[in-house]
Amino acid sequence: MKSLGCILTICTLLATLSAQTPATPSGLSSRRALNANVEHYDPRLESDLQSLQQAALASDYAFRQVAHLSDNIGPRLSGSPQAQTAVEYVADQLKRLGLEVTLEKVMVPHWVRGEETAALVEYPGQSPNTRQKILLTALGGSVATPADGLTAEIVTVNSFDELHALSKEKVASKIVLFNAKFDKELAADGLAGEAYGQAVVYRALGASEAAKMGAVAALVRSVGNADYRLPHTGATLYSADVTKIPFGGVTAEDADLIVHLAAQGKVRMHLTLTAQTLPDVPSFNVIGDLKGSEHPEQVIIVSGHLDSWDLGTGAIDDAAGVAVAMQTAQLLQQLHLHPKRTIRVIAWMNEENGGAGGKAYAKDYVADVPNHIAAIESDNGAGHPAGYKVNAPPAAIQRLRRLALILQGIGAGVLRPLEDIEADITPLQRLGVPTFGLLQDSRTYFNYHHTAADTLDKVDPRLLQENAAAMAMLAYTIANLPDPLPRTEAHQ
Question: How many CB atoms are closer than 10 A to CB 148?
Answer: 8
Buried b (16+ CB within 10 A) or exposed e, 461-470: eebbbbbbbb
Of 351, 352, 377, 422, the catalytic one is 351
Q: Is 351 a catalytic residue?
A: yes
Instruction: Tell me if 330 sits within 8 A of 358, measured CB to CB.
Output: no
Torsion of CA 31, 37, 39, 40, to 10 degrees: 40
3-state secondary structure of 472: helix
CA 310, 314, 319: angle at the middle one, nearest 5? Answer: 145
For 105, the enclosing helix (H) or strand (E) is: strand 100-112
What are the start-end ranges of the H helices in 136-251? 160-165, 168-171, 184-188, 192-212
Rounded to whole angstroms, how far apart are CA atoms 177 and 141? 18
| Beta strand ranges found along 215-348 (DSSP E) | 217-221, 247-250, 268-273, 276-290, 295-305, 341-348
Rounded to whole angstroms, how far apart are CA atoms 93 and 381? 22
Please compute, for residue 400, the number of CA atoms within 13 A of its CA located in the half-sphere on the CB side. Answer: 33
CA distances from 404 to 52, 58, 394, 426, 439 (A): 14, 20, 14, 23, 12
Question: How many CB atoms are closer than 10 A to CB 409?
Answer: 10
> Residue 391 carries which side chain, given as an amino acid letter?
N
Residues with Cβ within 8 Å of 197's Cβ and at least 6 positions away in sequence, in order, are: 11, 12, 13, 14, 15, 16, 17
Q: How many residues does the chain have?
A: 492
Report the catalytic residues: 351
